[in-house]
Amino acid sequence: MDGSTGDFDFLDVTVNGSRCTLQNDKVFTTSIAGKWNGASWSIDPFNFTCPNNTATPVNGAFSPINDAHFFATAVSNMYNDWFSIDPHTSSLVMLTDWVDPFNGNTTNAFWDGDALHFGNGNSDVYPYTVLDIVSHEIAHAFTEINANLIYDEQSGGMNEAFSDMAGKAAEYYVRGSNTWLLGLDLNKGEHTGRHMNDPTADGVSIDHLDDFVPVTDVHHTSGVYNKAFYNLATTQGWNTRTAFEVMVGANQNYWTASSTFEEGFCGVLSSTEDLGYATNDVISAFAGVGIQDVKLTSPQAGSAFFVDEAGLITLDTTLCSGGSTGVSASVRINGGSSLNLFDNGTHGDVQAGDGIFTQEWTPTSEGDNNVAINATKDGRQYNLQRTFYVGADNVSYSVEPTAYNWVSALDRCVGPNHDDGKVELALGIDFNFFGIEYDTAYVSSNGFLSFSPFSVSAHKNMELPNESNLKTIIATYWDDLNPEAGGQVCSAVIGSAPNRQVVITWQNMASWLDTSPATTVSNAVTAQVILHENSGDIVMQYQDVQSGNTSIDFGRSATVGIENSDGQRVLMHSFNTAVIQNQSALRFSQGLNADSDGDGINDDVDNCPNIVNKGQWDLDSDSIGNECDADIDGDGFSNAYEESLKTLAWKSLSYPGADSDNDGILEENDNCPTIANPFQWDKDQDGRGNECDSDIDGDGYSNNAEIAAKTKVWDATSFPDSGLDNDGDTIINGLDNCINNANKYQSDNDGDGLGDHCDTDRDGDGYSNAEEKAAGVSSWDASVFPGWNVDTDGDTRVDGLDNCPNVSNFGQWDDDKDNIGNDCDDDIDGDGASNDAEIAAGTFVADPTSFPARL
């Protein structure tokens, strides 16, 4: 029948008399314009008077519904012709003219599990019924009935990438060739889609495994597999079809729902072997994006060994096949003699036969070095090379508060001026960082810098050492900051050699939470880092870190610290903890053998290097000793802030907004924060509730003294006879804090009004003297108690302070404030519905306003 466009063949339709319906044995196509009934779409078959449909032009396109039907049929034919399969178990339902019924959006295309929807675009883009997008969405349906890749993290990136590959395969099938730009036919102007040949060209996508960060959108992490696919399809002897064939086989037979990038590669390799194609080409294609079944894990590129310090050359051959059978490897360092790598429990190897091969090496001089690996695995040859640096010394750092002295140096305002931006900055000095000298920094708008290039946006701060490729970093105030409301990054070099200082300032950087979209710079973050040329010291200064939003203020959502080139040396001051004050400063100093506070503990191992803390007490196990810890109990609120609100700085369950004694009174308003006192009775009006007041009536005699003397603890006019001295310690009963036990010096270790000689819990930590003696800990020190040094779940939080003592819960998050950490709480949001019940009902486990319907 008539209907060919000249570019493509006829439409495959159903003919009934003079009426043509856009339906065949593979595809059903219709328009859903205006067919939303408030709950679902009303779907009727689209038909027209044969032979031509010319009645549906939309947004500059002659007939998007024709395009959708034709391209979907072509894609279905591709799967049949190439693989002898249908892309889905049922006919493809194509719905054009889609409009989001809730917000009017028309710029999307998606597979909903039953049908494919295509919007009509807008002033920038044509309708979404172009060939590669139609094939992309159909591929989501294909993946759903095969690997069913979870749409999150690495499996989600693979899911998106496979659909992108399918788009290019469809172009190759229909047109005989393909571009490497996604949605090129969609754009009315300049192309704004993804680039499979260069994913990073869009400024947000990644093209290497090392750049992966779990919080990155799957459309951007897809760049890793997209680039590998491009590498393979453009390899001599390959094309888009053959490259797609191995991916389809992997999706059908080897990938699982939770496959990682590396596991997925193994599936592609197996699929390649099934088809009899060249596996070495696949290995090379994926090596280009950092995915290798034989990989050099030490040294990392740019990482540091140190002179006269033994290090390990390590080769991991375990990916895709465990063990060392069929594997041999050797190494040359700086072109020297070949040395075997071993997997037999010698030469630094930890476990024989596990597929990890090692060789020990001790460098003797400073500078760049080259390591070359030659390996054989399953008959395949691998040649790996890497350059790494040998430093002069093994450097460590200490951190301490220092004098705040803001430097108003804004000589070079270098940008970046957009969200999640970064800029390369020539320092003007050689700066020594963990034993390596750098002259260039890469500064992120998100409050940190790195001495190594990085490609991820890093809008979400991470704990150090971090999980991404962000190494050699100085996190001054790493948070999701946005300069688009007038913020800027400026730098200056002050002083003269060899004592110059590089000052880098993040000026008026508003939190993204407060600027989405960016509108104002009021109450924005202003902080700076100063790099000292001579000493290598790093000074971080904070002019303003308060916005009025308690979820982000004072470092509540920021990382402050430093990390070296391989993530093995880290000094983190704070992570998501509100301990950074306005007009404060921190100094990170180098040094191994100094003992700045003279307490007999070297600075490099001293948890308070500048304040005497001989016992190295560390209540919250954060490696910052009690004597210098701005947040002793690790509850996220500074000691000063807790003291100002009268919460307990040494008890993690007592913090602003908490109610540790469950009496219905918030900690900061409770006159007895650790003992239930719901009516807040305070007989003597001294600000201390009756339930925890050692002298309820304020007559100068403790309750215990009055009870012993049989006077009234509630009556200030009733107190012990001043002449009695029951215990003969020369202290009359009325003034004696131990009436019946001699306590001449009236010692009272915990200040509870009860003398040490008659106090069954003399340090006031909630454990009796007898219990502490039995446990072998001091009964005089409230910071040590039974279980104070026991950490059952290994999350660095001792059991006595852990809201999940048997389940690792590093952040101690407790959404519903019930003192049961999220990781062991059956009802995280405290809405009365268990997590399992909410998951089954499709409601949110972390939102108390979202819960299953209640009868």
Q: 280: helix, coil or strand?
A: helix
Strand-strand pairing, 304-306 and 380-391: parallel
**Which is catalytic among the residues 136, 137, 171, 627?**
137
Residues 6+ apart with CB under 8 A from 303: 388, 389, 471, 565, 566
Residue 149 near residue 259, CB atoms below 8 Å: yes
Q: Which two tokens stand for residue 847?
A: 């939102």
Q: Which two tokens stand for residue 744?
A: 């001449």
Q: Which two tokens stand for residue 739?
A: 């009436």
Tally DSSP H helices, then E strands, for the chain. 12, 29
* Best CA proximity match to 136, nearest among 155, 158, 110: 110
Q: Is 418 a catalytic residue?
A: no
User: In this structure, what DSSP letter does residue 200 have?
Assistant: G
Rounded to an integer, what distance in angstroms lies between the CA atom of residue 234 and that of residue 246?
Answer: 14
Rounded to an integer, what distance in angstroms lies between the CA atom of residue 87 and that of residue 83?
Answer: 10
Residue 187 near residue 428, CB atoms below 8 Å: no
Q: 691: helix, coil or strand?
A: helix
User: In this structure, what DSSP letter does residue 162 have?
Assistant: H
Phi-psi region of 651 (alpha: psi -120 to 50; beta: other; left: phi over 0): beta
Residue 60 near residue 90, CB atoms below 8 Å: no
The percent of the chain in helix, strand and coil, each rounded to the nearest 5, is: 20, 20, 60
Residue 649 near residue 664, CB atoms below 8 Å: no
Residue 293 near residue 319, CB atoms below 8 Å: yes
**Which is catalytic among the residues 136, 140, 208, 219?**
219
Q: Is 627 a catalytic residue?
A: no
- Stretch (H or E) spanning 349: none
Rounded to an integer, what distance in angstroms lies between the CA atom of residue 505 and that of residue 492?
Answer: 9
Q: Which two tokens stand for residue 667?
A: 């900690």
The residue type of 461 is N
User: In this structure, what DSSP letter does residue 300 have?
Assistant: P
Cα distance from N-terminal residue to C-terminal residue, the chain: 59
Q: 157: helix, coil or strand?
A: helix
Query: Is the preceding omega at residue 299 within 30 degrees of 0, hence cis?
Result: yes
Residue 542 near residue 581, CB atoms below 8 Å: yes
Strands (E), 26-170: 27-31, 47-49, 92-98, 109-111, 116-119
Residue 729 near residue 720, CB atoms below 8 Å: no
Residue 708 near residue 733, CB atoms below 8 Å: yes
φ, ψ of residue 200 in degrees (nearest 5): -75, -5
Q: What is the largest CA-CA distance in the chain?
A: 121
Which residue in the block uniquely carries the two structure tokens 């900061």? 668
Rounded to an integer, what distance in angstroms lies between the CA atom of residue 437 and that of residue 430?
Answer: 6
Rounded to an integer, what distance in angstroms lies between the CA atom of residue 428 and that of residue 220?
Answer: 34
Q: Is the C-alpha dihedral spanning 371, 376, 377, 381 positive or negative? A: positive
Q: Is the C-alpha dihedral spanning 432, 437, 441, 447 positive or negative? A: negative
* Best CA proximity match to 795, nearest among 775, 765, 821, 830: 821
Active-site residue list: 137, 219
